[in-house]
Amino acid sequence: MLILSCDHAGFDFMARLCKYFDRKKIEYKYMGPAAYNAEDDYPDFIHPATKEVLKDKDNVGIFVCGSGAGANIVANRYKGIRSVAASDCAEAYFARKDEDSNVLTIGARLTSFRLGLKIIKVFLTSPFEGGRHLRRINKY
């Protein structure tokens, strides 16, 4: 299951992403916020969304904030989360291939929706290679 969340800075980006997933009939769980509020703080939404990702090994999170960094930092506080703030497709690819990343964060102020969608598609379709990479992950 895709777990989606954002803050005020990522709200418009996330609204567009949800519409895209709806059109493509891609199942997701949106964890808020329900409405735009300029006073939102990303930890208030990223903490519960990250906990939701951890409920099932097949869950994947996509979180959007202003830079991608804040959401990434919050998500990576949890054991079992391997979050990446990807600003291009190569970062998303290698985060999945080498690190088996289960959360992607995007910076809505730094990434166009068009590029963000490409990054998300790469992230969601890139397989984990395993092998020596799994050995390294097990050392976390």
Strand, coil or helix: 62: strand
Summary mean pLDDT of the chain: 95
Find the mean pLDDT for residues 50-56: 98
CATH, range 2-137: 3.40.1400.10
Chain centroid to CA 30: 12
**pLDDT tens digit string along 81-132?**
999 999 999 999 999 999 999 999 999 999 999 999 999 999 999 999 777 7
Rounded Cα distance between 118 and 62, Å, is: 13
Residue written as tokens 């290679």? 129
Are the C-beta atoms of 89 and 118 separated by less than 8 Å?
yes
Rounded Cα distance between 43 and 56, Å, is: 21
| Predicted TM-score of the model (pTM) | 0.94
- For residue 137, the model assigns a pLDDT of 77
Rounded Cα distance between 57 and 119, Å, is: 21
Rounded Cα distance between 103 and 123, Å, is: 9
Domain spans of the chain, in order of start: 2-137
